[in-house]
Structure 1
Amino acid sequence: MSLKAVTVSATMTEKAKKRYPGESKGFVEEMKFVAMKLHTKQQAKEGEKEISQPEERSVVKWKPTTEGYLRFLVDSKLVYDALENIVYDAAYSYYAEFRSTGLERSASLAKDLEWFREQGHPIPEPSSPGLTYAQYLKELSVKDPQAFICHFYNIYFAHSAGGRMVGKKVAEKILNNKVLEFYKWDGQLSQMLQGVRDKLDKVSEGWTREEKNRCLEETEKSFRLSGEVLRLILVS
């Protein structure tokens, strides 16, 4: 091979590496990189997205309502119900790897909704954002497992980070600092998250680059659908 050919080959290899930031550390790092770029600067220092929706502002500027928060919790439960049922039914064998991770939220949300009911708050019916997202996850999990894994990762990991901040600030404003079960985990959360990271990296080892890219490309839709559910907190 000529020196020129070697140089061209090396340059192409270098460009390929630059296309997938985080690749050397595992696929979860790739997903994290793409996800962080879709935050706004108010949400994360790595964020690049311009603010276009009210929930994309800093949570300290939010004006939540109890009614809106209940709608958010009801619709969130629909989404987590879908996720937990999907991995339990396991249309693809590796979905079973994500059962009983400790990150499950459906039972916790059921307890929170019961607490609100006991306080005299009427529990609303599920609304379009949650119904739409749950149905989309069910369909996606069968026809496009790589894209589904993108949603699985972003939903659970976002809740463990920014989601907890949202819960804390909302509690300060409308719940007298009560910490809901939604924001509590049995055991060390960091260990649970690491366990899921390891499983995600292991599962994705068998994917082609095309399949990995399809997963990454789904991130924007994951953010959009999750954002529509989150926005319910601000509905009066």
Structure 2
Amino acid sequence: MPKRQTPGRTGGFVDEMRAVAMKLHTRDQAKEGEKEPDSPPVSKWEPSVDGYLRFLVDNKLVYDTLETIVQKAAYPCYAEFRNTGLERSKNLVQDLEWFKDQGHTIPEPSVGASYAHYLEELSEKDPQAFICHFYNIYFAHSAGGRMIGRKVAEKILDSKELQFYKWDGDLSQLLQNVRDKLNRVASSWSREEKDHCLEETEKSFKYSGEILRLILS
């Protein structure tokens, strides 16, 4: 577990979530990374359009699930995360339509279905763990996810930029707004609840990693 916040710091609990997440990266992904790589770096990937489509379809299911959960708000704090500007479902609909127009068949979701089911269950009974997944999914996509999207597009899409990697407005400001909301929600948690949230990070990486690896399938 990371050390508790130093008095006077303004980063709040999000800094703790970020610190735990960074350690689960490999050294070539982040300078704070401590994990041994289990696949080649993105620059050496040989992606396929079929694999990338599976990745996009599974991501759409996960984002659909996240957006539905915050709309239903089984816990009042979830309502804080409605209409943040980070939502991805509508963008992914446009991307999948584009692929369909190019003559590609859109596959059914695969590994993403189990992640979506897990998120639904978690959101009903464990808000701290759910918030961990919410944070890691949206923030990872805005950082490393964009880099991966650019590299894959260079190799198989003639560098076309998909809507999945576009946001309306200033992304850095959208992210800061969500950081502020996350810190506000977590400010009412006990230390045990915060630690429980942090402990869920590894599971978030496991599920997201399974979806990411679809690109190479």
Shift of 1:59: 1.0
Q: Would you tell me which structure has more helix in proportion to its own residues?
A: 1
Q: Which residue of 2 aligns with 1:9?
A: none
Matches within 5 A, 1:186-201: 186-201=168-183
CA distance in 1 between counterparts of 2:213 and 2:5 reads 30
Q: Which amino acid aligns with 2:190?
A: T
Matches within 5 A, 1:32-181: 32-52=18-38, 54=39, 57-127=40-110, 129-181=111-163
TM, length-normalised to structure 2: 0.96
Question: What are the superposed Cα offsets for residues 72-126 of structure 1, whole Å, 9 maximum, x if unpaired?
Answer: 0000000000000000000000100000000000000010000000000011111
Structure 2 segments unaligned to the other structure (5+ residues): none
Equivalences, count: 215
TM, length-normalised to structure 1: 0.89
Question: What are the superposed Cα offsets for residues 164-212 of structure 1, whole Å, 9 maximum, x if unpaired?
Answer: 0000000000000000000000000000000000000000000000000
Q: Which amino acid aligns with 2:75?
A: Y
CA distance in 1 between counterparts of 2:24 and 2:180 reads 23
CA distance in 2 between counterparts of 1:107 and 1:157 reads 18
Q: Which amino acid aligns with 1:51?
A: P
CA distance in 2 between counterparts of 1:33 and 1:22 reads 14
CA contact (8 A) 1:133 1:225 kept: yes
Q: Which amino acid aligns with 1:174?
A: I
CA contact (8 A) 1:102 1:185 kept: yes
Shift of 1:42: 1.3
Structure 1 segments unaligned to the other structure (5+ residues): 1-15
CA contact (8 A) 1:40 1:48 kept: yes
Q: Which residue of 2 aligns with 1:5?
A: none
Q: Which residue of 1 aligns with 2:3?
A: 19
Shift of 1:22: 6.8
Q: Which amino acid aligns with 1:196?
A: V
Q: Which amino acid aligns with 1:226?
A: S
CA contact (8 A) 1:22 1:29 kept: no
CA distance in 1 between counterparts of 2:166 and 2:15 reads 25
CA distance in 2 between counterparts of 1:119 and 1:20 reads 51
| Residue identity (%) | 69
CA distance in 2 between counterparts of 1:132 and 1:162 reads 23
CA distance in 1 between counterparts of 2:76 and 2:12 reads 21
SS of the aligned residue for 1:19 comes to coil
